[in-house]
Amino acid sequence: MRYAIFSDIHSNLEAFQVINKFIETENIDKRIFLGDIVGYGANPNECIELLRKSADIVLGGNRNNTTIKKTDISCFNEYAKAAILWTRKVLSQENKNYLAALPVIDTFKEITIAHSSPWEPSVWHYIVNIRDARNNFEYFDTQLCFIGHSHHPVTISRLSDGTLKVSRNQLVSLNEESR
């Protein structure tokens, strides 16, 4: 089974179209979106509509939830706040309803997916260091967990002896004794 796992489009229609064209050239069985289809960019409605047509599994995210007023924006910087307030004005009611129904964490085929972290997924914690990663392993039971939110691709493996290994920009082989 081949998955395309992507996240954090943030209303950037041109980037999303490029991702979709690339995915179409691969032999992909399922498209998994880890949240934050809106925020910042100029095309929130178009991005949501494309996501609805193209993704098989979709999560919500912090930008989605602030747009539909499920999450407070008071801690956002002025640019992020302005983007969310503008998005609230232009987003169709149908797309607001769609965002409101999205989960922020899910499990399928023994894989956990989350927008932020398995620990308190609606609080929008970032996993930015080994300590954060170590703590989060306790909040999912599957061998694999994919997370969006940070905008930084990294793989963190917990080996059978409990040590953590960080891999950046390299192929990682699955090992039944590791998570």
d(CA 168, CA 69): 35
pLDDT at 128: 86
Model pTM?
0.94
DSSP 8-state secondary structure symbol assigned to residue 42? S
The amino acid at residue 154 is V
d(CA 118, CA 104): 9
CATH code that applies to domain 3-102: 3.60.21.10
Check if the beta carbon of residue 70 is closer than 8 Å to that of residue 43.
no
- Helix/strand/coil for 106: strand
Question: What are the tens digits of pLDDT across the range 24-53?
Answer: 999 999 999 999 999 999 999 999 999 999
d(CA 114, CA 8): 12
Question: What are the tens digits of pLDDT across the range 91-114?
Answer: 999 999 999 999 999 999 999 999
Per domain, the residue ranges of the chain are 3-102, 106-167
Is residue 81 over pLDDT 90?
yes
Considering only CA atoms, which of 131, 126, 3, 10 is closest in space to residue 64? 10
pLDDT at 172: 85
Triad 35, 36, 38: Cα angle to 5°: 145
Q: Strand pairing of 30-33 and 57-58?
A: parallel
Check if the beta carbon of residue 34 is closer than 8 Å to that of residue 147.
yes
